[in-house]
Amino acid sequence: GEDVEQSLFLSVREGDSSVINCTYTDSSSTYLYWYKQEPGAGLQLLTYIFSNMDMKQDQRLTVLLNKKDKHLSLRIADTQTGDSAIYFCAESNGQNFVFGPGTRLSVLP
Amino acid sequence: DTGVSQDPRHKITKRGQNVTFRCDPISEHNRLYWYRQTLGQGPEFLTYFQNEAQLEKSRLLSDRFSAERPKGSFSTLEIQRTEQGDSAMYLCASSSGRGGREQFFGPGTRLTVL
């Protein structure tokens, strides 16, 4: 079945850039997503990219997609303490959504 | 607030009891999804509806689980004869039908089975 993998932890210093990586297996993925989850809260959609794109930028967020390698990354520029959360990568073929285990981002002062 | 809402937010029950959760999607969203999330994991897909039709069910959805969306608006998820392994956060999400690109999540119902 489909699988989505992420590294589980990332620590960065405030003001630095964060890069969270994700790999997926489903070659029929149409959309790829990044969600943010803060403690005790639901998932918040940050951004998504269509599978025929290779980059999308939205303010401090940059998503890079390497479809050949099935690799997705999320770069957060000028990381702030408020960015501390768990970040989930997800892929969809337009019907099902498959989520990764999440990357816990810790931002150190 | 026009987001996805779920009720209750927390439920504590004894093993063997039945529980029912409700989800109200964003109005006019015709797709509704149920997920289960355990500690340290991402959401696991359980089932989804397009309008009132239940189009897909995960293997995770045992016979003790049933979901309905009778009028194509709100949905209920019932777990019969709860087990301790059912303890998790149950998340609901909705999306519009045009490719369902953007999926919006509710705050979840945290179930604890004693």
Task: Give me the pLDDT at residue A97, please.
Answer: 86
Task: Please state, in angstroms and as integers, the Cα–Cα distance from residue A87 to each residue in A52, A84, B86, following that order.
Answer: 23, 9, 24
Distance, in angstroms, between B60 CA and closest chain A CA? Answer: 13
Give percent of chain B above pLDDT 90. Answer: 74
Residue B86 CB coordination number (10 Å): 19
A71-76 and A61-66: which strand pairing?
Answer: antiparallel
Q: What one-letter code names the amino acid at B19?
A: V
B18 falls in which pLDDT band (50, 70, 90)?
very high
Disruptive mutation site among B103, B104, B109, B110 for chain A (greatest number of A CBs within 10 Å):
B103
**Count of Cβ atoms closer than 10 Å to residue B35 Cβ:** 25
pLDDT value of residue B97: 63
B112: its two tokens: 């604890």
DSSP annotation string for A10-76: EEEETTS-EEEEEEE--TT--EEEEEEE-TT--EEEEEEEETT-SEEEETTEEEEEETTTTEEEEEE
> Average pLDDT of B45-63?
89
Average pLDDT of chain B, as a whole number:
91
**What three-state secondary structure class fits B78?**
strand
**Quick check: B42 and A92 CB within 8 A?**
no
CB contact residues (below 8 A), chain A span 61-100, against chain B = 88, 90, 92, 94-100
Query: What would the mean pLDDT of B38-53 be, rounded to a whole number?
Result: 91
Residue A52 contacts B where some CB pair is shorter than 8 Å? no
Cβ atoms of B43 and A96 within 8 Å: the answer is no
Of the candidates A94, A55, A93, the residue with the CA atom closest to the CA atom of residue A71? A55
CA–CA distance, A3 with A67 (Å, rounded to integer): 15
Tell me the average pLDDT across B9-28.
96
Decide which of A9 and B2 is more confident.
A9
Report the pLDDT averaged over residues A42-70: 93
From A50, A3, A6, A101, select the one nearest B100 (Cα to Cα).
A50
Lowest mean pLDDT segment, chosen from A62-76, B11-25, B95-109: B95-109
Q: Indicate yes or no: CB of A4 within 8 angstroms of CB of B44.
A: no
Cα separation, A97 vs B93, whole angstroms: 11
What pLDDT, on the 0 to 100 scale, is given for residue A30? 84
Q: What is the pLDDT of residue B1?
A: 54
A3-42 per-position pLDDT tens digit: 999 999 999 999 999 999 999 998 888 889 999 999 878 8
Question: What local confidence, expressed as pLDDT, does residue B36 receive?
Answer: 96
- Residues A103/A6, Cβ–Cβ less than 8 Å: yes
Bridge partners, residue B20, by sequence: B78
pLDDT tens digits for B55-107? 888 888 889 999 999 988 999 999 999 999 999 999 999 988 665 578 899 99
Q: Cα–Cα distances in Å, from A55 out to A18, A72, A102? A: 16, 10, 21
Q: How many CB atoms are closer than 10 A to CB A109?
A: 6
What pLDDT is attached to residue B61?
84
Residue B42: DSSP 8-state? -
